[in-house]
Amino acid sequence: MRLGKVLGLTAMATALIATRAIAADLIGEWSTIQMPAAPELKQVTVDPKTTALLLFDFMKENCGARPRCVEDVPKLKALDEKARAAKMLVAYTFPNNGEPIDPGIAPKDKSEVVDQKAGGPDKFIGSDLDDRLRKNGITTVILCGTSAQGVGIGSGAGAVQRGYKVIYPIDCLPSESAFREAYAAWHMAGGGPPVTTKSVTVTRSDMIKFGE
């Protein structure tokens, strides 16, 4: 009898451990996970001579289908106008020859369009972007694109890994949902690898000032 009790208790303990193990994986914990605190947005002043504004993939076929992206177009236009008034370098991508979502955030010259042959979220891969930035003495980029979880993280990390400082305005990286924008902003603000995030400033477009 005693042996039977021991075996029974052992079986119960094993079942309990197994149940807890199942519940303790990410999916089991999903409903209990707390959102982290929002990233602190920082004022930033950029040097127009060494800073470039990057506007990636703002096309009718993708941005036009995302309400959050359409809502951000006026902010993008305002930032584009300020950058051009400061005579900053501006660069665009339009994969598969897509059409710009709005004339206010469209290239003024064909030379402003980056030809990214490989496609994908890191716009440095398969393009002349790094080359053109270096030739113009650029050390900092203001990163705007759709979407945050794509070009935001992909090109943001790609820029830092190539030695650039990244200005990450949260209202210029719209996605399909607020959550996707949130996890990308949290990642770039410090949730991601320090080797990347140490060179990123998370801000908002109206908090970016242009120096002389």
Q: Where are the domains of the chain?
A: 2-32, 44-210
Whether omega for the bond prior to residue 147 falls within 30 degrees of 0, making it cis, is yes
Task: Give per-residue pLDDT as tens, 30-39.
Answer: 999 999 999 9
Q: Scanning the structure block, which residue is given the tokens 């950029």? A: 46
Per-residue confidence (pLDDT) for residue 154, from 0 to 100: 97
| Strand 140-145 versus strand 89-93 pairing type | unpaired
Low-confidence ranges of the chain (pLDDT < 70): 1-23, 212
Distance CA 124, CA 206 (A): 27
Strand, coil or helix: 21: helix
Distance CA 82, CA 205 (A): 10
Per-residue confidence (pLDDT) for residue 1, from 0 to 100: 47
Per-residue confidence (pLDDT) for residue 190, from 0 to 100: 96
Q: Scanning the structure block, which residue is given the tokens 């242009």? A: 210
Per-residue confidence (pLDDT) for residue 210, from 0 to 100: 95
Give the tokens for residue 1. Answer: 């009898």
Those residues with Cβ within 8 angstroms of residue 36's Cβ, 6 or more apart along the chain or in another chain: 186, 191
Per-residue confidence (pLDDT) for residue 24, from 0 to 100: 73
Per-residue confidence (pLDDT) for residue 6, from 0 to 100: 45
Whether 73 contacts 101, CB under 8 Å: yes
Q: How many CB atoms neighbour CB 124 within 10 A?
A: 22
Per-residue confidence (pLDDT) for residue 117, from 0 to 100: 84
Task: Name the pTM for this structure.
Answer: 0.88
Strand, coil or helix: 15: helix
Distance CA 173, CA 170 (A): 6
Whether 51 contacts 88, CB under 8 Å: yes
Give the tokens for residue 26. Answer: 């990410």
Distance CA 122, CA 108 (A): 23
Task: Report the CATH architecture of 44-210.
Answer: 3-Layer(aba) Sandwich (3.40)
Task: Label residue 100 exposed, middle or buried (CB < 10 Å: 0-12, 13-18, 19+).
Answer: middle
Per-residue confidence (pLDDT) for residue 168, from 0 to 100: 98
Question: How far is the CA of 26 from the CAs of 19, 33, 38, 183, 191, in angstroms?
Answer: 14, 9, 22, 16, 17
Nearest CA to 105 out of 67, 71, 151, 74 is that of 74
CA dihedral (168, 170, 171, 174) in degrees, to 10, reads: 100
Per-residue confidence (pLDDT) for residue 153, from 0 to 100: 97
